[in-house]
Amino acid sequence: MRPCALVLGSLVACSTAEVRKDGTNDNGCTLGTAEDCAACGNACPGMDTAGTRRTCMSATCGILCLGEWYDVDGDAANGCEAEDSPIQDTAAGAVLITLPNLNNGGGGALPCDGVTNPCTRAAQVYGDAREHDAAPTMRPLGREDWYKVVAINGGSSSNQMTACLGITNFPTDNQYEVCIGNDGSTMPTTCMTAQGGGTSQCVAPPTAADQGTFYVKVRKIAGANTANKYALYLVH
C-alpha cells in the first residue's frame, strides 16, 4: 500500500474513499490502474515487459499480450513468456525455404539452410487464452505458419516435392494440419492432419512435380497449448 497522509506523525495507506471522482488523489493514486487496481496501492502481480502489459478491469487484475508474445503456460505471474515471430500467416509473409537440386541432406535431419535437401524446419505455433493488443485479438490456436518453398531443378530422382509434418512430442489432443499447393499456386489446398504423439503426415502437390515454387501451410486445429516445436520435413 502506498503512503497517503501523515496521521499523528505516521504514514497511513491510501483508501478508496480518498480518491476523487476522476480516480486520482494528491498522492499519485489512480484507481483502476495496474498499480492501484481494486484499491489504492493494490498493485497487480508481475511486471510490465516488452511482451506483457498488466491490466485492471472491473477491479480485477489481468494481462494483455503485446506483439507476438503469448502466455503459453497460462500463468499470469510470468506474463506473456513466449515469442512467436516472425508473422508468417499469409502467402505474402511466407518464410522462404530453398531446396537445392541434389539430395545432399542425408536423412533430412539437418535444418533448412538453403543448401540442404532434404531438410527439417523446427518451428512453433503458439496460442493462449489472453487478449492481444493487435488483430486477431484472441488467438486460442495461434497464427498459421506459411512457407514459400523453392525447389531447384529436379532434386533427387527418387522423390517428388513432399512436405511432412510431425508433432510426435505434443500432447495427444493436439491436431495440426499441413497443406501444399501446385507449383506457382498460392492456394495450398491438399492437406493432411497430424496427431500429437502420432506419426508424421505427408502431402504432395495435387499435380506431381519435382521443381518449382510451392506454398506450404502449417496450422493448429485443436488441442491444449504447448511450447513444443513441430518438425516440417521438406524434400524433392
Domains and CATH numbers, the chain: 3-69 (no CATH), 84-235 (2.60.120.380)
Residue keyed to cell 486520482? 24
Give residue 131's pLDDT: 97
Helices (H), the chain: none
pLDDT in tens, 160-192: 999 999 999 999 999 999 999 999 999 999 999
pLDDT in tens, 18-37: 554 454 555 678 889 999 99
What cell does 166 get? 510431425
pLDDT in tens, 138-149: 999 999 999 999
Give residue 26's pLDDT: 54
The amino acid at residue 161 is: M
- CB 150 within 8 Å of CB 99: yes
Mean pLDDT lowest for which of 60-69, 107-116, 214-223? 107-116
d(CA 142, CA 87): 11
3-state secondary structure of 123: strand
pTM of the model: 0.85
Beta-bridge mates of residue 193: 177
Label residue 10 by pLDDT band (50, 70, 90): very low
Label residue 6 by pLDDT band (50, 70, 90): very low
